[in-house]
Amino acid sequence: MPNYGTPPLVISHGSGSRVWDTQGHAYLDLIAGIAVSALGHAHPALVEAVCRQVGRLAHISNLYLHEPEVLLAERLLHLLGGDGRVFFANSGTEANEAALKLVRRHAGAGRPHVVAAWQSFHGRSMGSLALAGKPAIRDPFAPFGFDVRFVPYGDTEALARAVTPECAGVFLEPIQGEAGIVEPPPHYLRAARDRCDETGAVLVLDEVQSGIGRTGEWFHHLAVGVRPDVVTLAKGLGGGLPIAACVGFGTFGSVFAKGDHGSTFGANPVACAAALAVLEVIERDDLLANARTVGGVLRDGIARTDHPLLRGVRGRGLWLGIVLAGPYGARVEEAARQAGFLINAVQPDVVRLSPPLVLTVEEARAFLDALPGILTTALDAEVR
Ligand SMILES: *Cc1c(COP(=O)(O)O)cnc(C)c1O
């Protein structure tokens, strides 16, 4: 279907932070399948874990337990530092659907609305899409059957006004991804936590893109010291295998009763084995430190690049938004591709870098060396 337009490349294979197209051209992959391929491509630990698991048991459904799902749930709760329970799904939008149903189930009838932020993105299925603070992707599919109130992201007072005792829950990205790597003011998430405590609304943090080491920390909410009631995870978790999690802390882990929710493929053994390998390699190879170091090199290098197309750079770890002087994103993306770098125009005037967490300083430098030429090519390109 034409929903993705026509992608510009056919990718054949990858290794580390590199991919090759079917013509044999190599690219440095600074997108990693939209912040997904945390270990890069064809990482031996991921290949081994997936091959071993598919050779033992590929699927069993939720009618039975298997060991990888139990180990993964325990591992996630340990990393999250909380006591709670995990529901496994297959994609970010499904993790948020689970969170939405959890919020509904917890709230009962007296709390008719939920709150979300302008410019937010939580996925494309009808529940998550109802939370999207982007009219262009949301409005063609309205109505959604429940009341979502939108607030400007980062505005503490607007949040306090919207989160009333009639509010069932608040959905926020701790740093907005699709909006262009937008971080709220320092005390925003704390204020959201406090307002939810005052009113009894459930605080859901969507760490689908920001989580699992992307920012140089396991989870951004831990870095800022704010504990949500529910957190959702996906993208980087499986290193390329489809897996997602909706984690409820404390009593929020036990809101669903038997029969309230389910997924045939959720907690798929192969996807769980992949996620366990991802978490193990991130820890073993200290990829959080690597994300901070190499991310710092990239960020500083971009900040020091003097070019009329550059407005600035923002983000944390290996998750950066290069802000352009106008709507040149698509042209910069194309010029980068022609120079052998995959980057993504996440907004008309913002280019996103979300490379594998294994990216090296040398690879980062190669991009920085090429960046002025890429920008000049984009500036000179004829408007199509
Ligand atoms: C990508 C993303 C989603 C949706 O994930 P899918 O796997 O595409 O359904 C949800 N929330 C955030 C913050 C995302 O970045």
Q: How far is the CA of 235 from the centre of ligand 1 (A)?
A: 7
| Residue 126 C-beta-side C-alpha neighbours within 13 Å | 7
Residues 342 and 280 in one domain: no
Residues 206 and 301 in one domain: no
Residues 159 and 301 in one domain: no
Region 8-12 average pLDDT: 97
Residues 242 and 340 in one domain: no
Q: Report the alpha-carbon distance of residue 190 to residue 352 in Å, rounded.
A: 27
Region 280-297 average pLDDT: 98
Probe residue for ligand 1, chosen from 3, 90, 91, 93 as the CB with the greatest number of ligand atoms within 8 Å? 93
Q: pLDDT by residue (tens digit) across 61-81?
A: 999 999 999 999 999 999 999
Q: Report the alpha-carbon distance of residue 174 to residue 141 in Å, rounded.
A: 26
Among the three residues 241, 266, 284, which one is the final residue of a domain in this structure? 284
Number of domains observed in the structure of the chain: 2
Q: Is the pLDDT of residue 95 over 90?
A: yes
Name the closest-CA residue to atom 15, ligand 1.
Answer: 209
Residue 37 domain flag: no
Q: What is the pLDDT of residue 381?
A: 83
Residue 142 domain flag: yes
Name the closest-CA residue to atom 5, ligand 1.
Answer: 92
Residues 215 and 328 in one domain: no
Region 135-155 average pLDDT: 97
What's the CATH code of the domain at 358? Answer: 3.90.1150.10
Residue 319 domain flag: yes
Q: How far is the CA of 117 from the centre of ligand 1 (A)?
A: 15
What's the CATH code of the domain at 79? Answer: 3.40.640.10
Q: Is 208 annotated as a binding residue?
A: yes
Region 298-313 average pLDDT: 98
Among the three residues 216, 249, 284, which one is the final residue of a domain in this structure? 284
Residues 9 and 115 in one domain: no
Instruction: Please give all residues whose beta carbon lies within 6 A of any atom in ligand 1, as ranges.
Output: 91-93, 96, 121-123, 173, 177-178, 206, 208-209, 234-235
Q: Is 121 annotated as a binding residue?
A: yes
Q: Is 207 annotated as a binding residue?
A: yes
Residues 271 and 293 in one domain: no
Q: Is 232 annotated as a binding residue?
A: no
- pTM score: 0.98
Give the ligand 1 atom nearest the CA of 173: 13
Residues 337 and 251 in one domain: no
Region 155-165 average pLDDT: 98
Q: Is 264 annotated as a binding residue?
A: yes
Residues 227 and 376 in one domain: no
Q: What is the pLDDT of residue 382?
A: 53
Residue 209 belongs to what domain range? Answer: 46-284
Q: How far is the CA of 83 from the centre of ligand 1 (A)?
A: 25
Q: How far is the CA of 237 from the centre of ligand 1 (A)?
A: 12
Name the closest-CA residue to atom 10, ligand 1.
Answer: 122
Region 38-58 average pLDDT: 98
Residues 129 and 270 in one domain: yes
Residues 329 and 262 in one domain: no
